[in-house]
Chains A and B, each alone.
Chain A
């Protein structure tokens, strides 16, 4: 698979480390409930089809990105920047 890192360009997926479902959102620091954290840590939709997932470009810029990939075909349709600089990159692209 080829992943287009928003920062580095198109690279082999071998350069990246998979970090799983991007839908798993950690509860806010103000939320200390067990239930919310359980859902975050354990429960996954595991869809057959489009999957938004996190990859860390560990063999490159070491930034995370959100990849939209079809789990049935492995086809990647979108690679989005994430993190503190994502907005700036998006703005620069415009």
Chain B
């Protein structure tokens, strides 16, 4: 496999780009593996990569129903941050930040991690105090955070309406300077290429249709590939299928989970010259926006509330999201929405993820990402790989169990309670 560099680009260009090879092999399934990861999205691929690179488990297959990265890894608004209030979250997401920083080098694939800052706007002094509390928690956990006043916010984002007469006037904001964006597809492709290089088989267009069970233990998966059924055995099976968690887990006999699937819509405007430098969120509603390197404003807001496995949403969210965006930036009103799309979110009952052994013997579950899964990709893969390889969670994901709901230890960042669509 060619190592990517400016040099390799030049030499290949001189040969008419004829010698580039596939970024990952189109592997054929073996009869069995040490570990099978169900789900070739960001988390599944990252898990396979860290299984191979950190734990030396290379006899691994990633089984993906469609094309690699066809789920939420390629549909999100690409925000990377660790500005969390609760210690379990902030430790976990900060681990992710550390991995993000070195990811392009580690994978020899430019994932375009762009630490441009994530700014949460505050609209009342009370909200400033709430942000201060969160920012202080971040500081105490060694994460950079700054509280900005109105003028500082205005300097950072010149188009922002900081006028006192706005319906929800901006009084300041919380900035995580080291947070930012990354290129979503590159993360999937980079992990795929990295895992493939270490011997992981990536099986695209291979649908898991059932699980092989022996004496109550999962020992592999049944698959359909090019119209043909095949069993693939494995000592351990990890499931990382995000919005499809409900349907895949049913195949393993797990009928109920503290997860519901809903649609989240995302939006991108036409490409324009740089107009907002940071990721910015609206504090009097739910809206996050940043500008891609191509120049499109990438934004989103609330989920569509109702349960859904359809990757498209409805008009009320369009109206809500655009009205909040133009309330923040009245100079955006004439910019134009280019495209919107939907992804299926695995909304957990407390808004926090699940990375755990079980719930069936021989199986491991990674789910419940709500709409924060992208930024978690590296840490999720890293922790899930550890959990699978060591048969027990790492300290960083010890709190992200299914048992927390039984014991009364929800990790409820918003305090919104066991209503998944409120998170």
Contacts and interface: CB of A to CB of B under 8 A. Distances in A.
Are A and B subunits of one complex?
yes
Interface of A: 1, 13-14, 18, 20-21, 38-39, 41-48, 51, 53, 69, 71-74
B246 A47 contact: yes
Contacts of B306: 1, 13, 18, 53, 69
Interface stretch (B41-49, B96-104, B158-166, B258-266): B258-266
Interface residues of B, number: 26
A45 B406 contact: no
Given A43-B258, A72-B309, A74-B314, 19 more contacts: A14-B315, A20-B419, A20-B421, A38-B406, A41-B418, A42-B405, A42-B418, A44-B256, A44-B258, A44-B260, A45-B246, A46-B246, A46-B259, A48-B247, A48-B261, A48-B309, A53-B306, A69-B306, A71-B309
A21 B406 CA distance: 20
A77 to B, nearest CB: 15
Given A38-B406, A69-B306, A43 B261 contact: no
Contacts of B420: 20
Interface string B225-252: 0000000000000000000011100000
Q: A-B pairs with the 5 shortest C-beta distances?
A: A46-B246, A43-B256, A42-B258, A18-B305, A48-B309
Nearest to A47: B246
A74 B305 CA distance: 12
Contacts of A48: 246-247, 261, 309
B308 interface: yes
B314 A1 contact: yes
A45 B418 contact: no
A72 B224 CA distance: 21
A43 to B, nearest CB: 4
Contacts of A53: 306-307
Interface in B300-337: 305-310, 314-316
Nearest to A75: B310
B349 interface: yes
Contact of A73 (B258, B261, B310): B310
A44 B310 contact: no
Contacts, number: 65
B257 interface: yes
Interface in B101-156: none
Nearest to B315: A14
Nearest to A18: B305
Contacts of A71: 261, 307-310
B421 A18 contact: yes
B307 A46 contact: yes
Nearest to B317: A14
Nearest to A14: B316
Nearest to A40: B418
Contacts of A45: 246, 255-256
24 contacts: A13-B316, A14-B315, A18-B421, A20-B260, A20-B419, A21-B260, A38-B406, A41-B418, A42-B405, A44-B257, A44-B260, A46-B259, A46-B261, A47-B246, A48-B247, A48-B309, A51-B307, A53-B306, A53-B307, A71-B261, A71-B309, A71-B310, A72-B309, A72-B310
A43 B260 CA distance: 9
Contacts of B421: 18, 20
Contacts of B349: 41-42
Contacts of A20: 260, 307, 419-421
A43 B257 contact: yes
Interface in B387-423: 405-406, 418-421
Nearest to B258: A42
